[in-house]
Amino acid sequence: MTHANVADQLAANGVDKATAFRNLNDMADAGLLRRTELGDHVWRFEAIAEGEHDQSAHPHFLCVDCGTVSCLDDVKLTAGSQRESGKFGEVTEILLRGHCNDCR
């Protein structure tokens, strides 16, 4: 969910965009949400399940046509794929870009 999605949902309850954004960031800082930016200058937030931690990231798929973002939860990152590399540093996110089934 994006900040705009949340702000639109809360507007009917009198919550302004700045308050929504502050609260989303506070929840991310508290470890309740994962904050991701996929190269389009839009922060996306997703809930972190109980027992999960922010570092248990998973790959995302971004449709280059419609902008839909899908979590690739069934793709597991192994310890080997997440280890630090002297050449690249630490892998913190994997993003696949392409055309979703609806846009193909």
Q: Where are the alpha helices (DSSP H) in 12-45?
A: 17-29
Q: How far lies 37's CA from each of 13, 46, 89, in Å?
A: 27, 12, 19
Among candidate residues 50, 63, 58, the one with its CA nearest the CA of residue 92: 58
71 is in an annotated binding site: no
66 is in an annotated binding site: yes
63 is in an annotated binding site: yes
User: Residues within the annotated binding site?
Assistant: 63, 66, 100, 103
User: Residues within the annotated binding site for Zn(2+)?
Assistant: 63, 66, 100, 103
